[in-house]
Structure 1
Amino acid sequence: MKNQEILSMVDHTLLTQAATWEEIKQICDDGIKYQCASVCIPASYVKRASEYVKGQIAVCTVIGFPNGYSTKEVKVFEAKNALENGASEIDMVINIGLLKDKKYDEIENEIRALKEACGNNILKVIIETCLLTEEEKIKMCEIVTKAGADFIKTSTGFSTAGATFADIVLFKEHVGPNVKIKAAGGISSLEDAEKFISLGASRLGTSRIVKILKNEEATGY
């Protein structure tokens, strides 16, 4: 697989708490230069970044991040505000406690409400696989499919582990045909990226792929 094909599936990401505008601007510049799918940044920077990139790349942000336990109403407000500020993709975190309590209808209703807020904009649903049993992962595949979201996403990158190959295989087996897959967290090499894509992921949440290619350009390797 060619590097550009991989880059076209990358949500070039910077979500650290201490991220500065200069760092966000660099993420935007690199995302545009390397023709990534989007830049995934904190909501507080969405308006400024959207004005800065002038439509050259999609701006993605995160909702209910990273813990997922905001109320549905707060998540809907966050999403609407982000979209008004220029975001075109929303990555929301589910309420994991509700899943553990088997409150499946509440989770589905929340995702539906977020998708309604997003309209034609892309909604990705982060389920934080490292905290879930296999049964819970399968159930979330069903719920995300029923709720009409565009993507199921493995991880925030802020918990105990990130994406695994096994999770992508499991997702592929259990999501409906309307749901795409995003792997995120711990993707540290081009080989890993290619493997995730070959298993069924069509988006990758990472900053490392661009860093690797920038380093190769700088060093000649």
Structure 2
Amino acid sequence: MDFTVAQIAKMIDHSILRPEFTAEDVRKGCAIAAKYEVASVCVRPCDVPLAVQLLRASSVEVGTVIGFPHGDTHTAIKVAETELAIYQGATEIDMVLNVGWLRSGHIDAVEREIVAVIEAAKGAPVKVILENAYLTNEQKLAACWAAERAGAAFVKSSTGFAPTGATIDDLALMRSAVSAKVRVKASGGVRSLDQLVAMAAVGVTRFGSSATEAILEDLARRTRIELAHLRAA
């Protein structure tokens, strides 16, 4: 394995987004994030203050979701959500674009909304969620181009709440659509180390997953086995 546990950890946004999660579930999720020093947690908007408090002493960023999971709230609401999240200490923003507008061909409106959220984020990186399950390849490309023109830091495959999530084909298409200054995030069904490594091979550099501990412990186990084989050779 070419990656270390620390390297993979810094590619993961640990997802704590399920609607039924309690405050204790959020605390447990943040403890996992801090233990492995992942890139960030991605929490529900109502959990931003708690996550900021819990992770203050760590290097883990606190991210949240905007217009989640359907993307169809009014632009003004998405802007207000973003402003409040930043005020409460969020440092990364994952926004769902307006899927209906995109499918209707209203690309200018999609782009304007992304710009509005980016401005409200005040320099925090914004990840634009396409929700690929509902899009044609042409629509995925159009969304990626609009996100880059708007100034997004990432394009992201999925919310994890649609019928399907991240696929290698979609991620490769997204990577081909944007320049090197825009990164690609895979989310939705990223549950194993092998999946993550395969996605990294097509240019993905950030992963949203709730299976963080299992992925990183699997890598640690494989690394120990490799080291043992080397010592025995």
| TM-score, length-scaled by structure 1 | 0.95
8 A contact 2:5–2:219 mirrored in 1: no
Which residue matches 2:179? Answer: 176
8 A contact 1:88–1:122 mirrored in 2: yes
Could you tell me which of 6, 29, 32 is aligned with 1:30?
Answer: 32
What's the CA shift for 1:212?
A: 4.1
Letter in 1 for 2:117: L
Could you tell me which of 98, 101, 110 is aligned with 1:98?
Answer: 101
1:75 partner SS: helix
Runs of 4+ in 1 over 4 A off after TM superposition: 214-218
Letter in 2 for 1:66: P
Letter in 1 for 2:142: K
Runs of 5+ consecutive residues of structure 1 not aligned to the other structure: none
| 2:49 is the counterpart of 1:47 | yes
Which residue matches 2:15? Answer: 13
Letter in 2 for 1:41: V
Using the alignment, how far apart are the partners of 1:121 and 1:187 within structure 2? 24
Using the alignment, how far apart are the partners of 1:204 and 1:4 within structure 2? 14
Compare 175-184 and 57-66 and name the one that shifted more: 175-184
Which residue matches 2:192? Answer: 189
Q: Give runs of aligned pairs for residues 33-182 of structure 1, distance below 5 A.
A: 33-56=35-58, 57-182=60-185
The 1:196–1:217 alpha-carbon spacing in structure 2 relative to 1, beyond 3 Å, is: closer
Q: CA RMSD in A?
A: 1.8
The 1:9–1:213 alpha-carbon spacing in structure 2 relative to 1, beyond 3 Å, is: closer
Letter in 2 for 1:177: A
| TM-score, length-scaled by structure 2 | 0.90
Q: Deviations over 1:124-166 (max 9, x none)?
A: 0000011100000011111011010100000000000110011
2:152 partner SS: coil
Using the alignment, how far apart are the partners of 2:220 and 2:138 within structure 1? 44
Q: Deviations over 1:145-198 (max 9, x none)?
A: 101010000000000011001111101111123211000010121011111112
Letter in 1 for 2:23: W
The 1:81–1:182 alpha-carbon spacing in structure 2 relative to 1, beyond 3 Å, is: same
Which residue matches 2:203? Answer: 200
Letter in 1 for 2:4: K
What's the CA shift for 1:55?
A: 4.7
Q: Deviations over 1:7-38 (max 9, x none)?
A: 11000001111111111111111111101000
Could you tell me which of 192, 199, 209 is aligned with 2:212?
Answer: 209
Q: Which has the higher Rg, Structure 1 or Structure 2?
A: 2
Letter in 2 for 1:105: D
Which residue matches 2:231? Answer: none
Q: Percent identity?
A: 37
User: How many matched pairs?
Assistant: 220
Runs of 5+ consecutive residues of structure 2 not aligned to the other structure: 226-233
8 A contact 1:182–1:205 mirrored in 2: yes
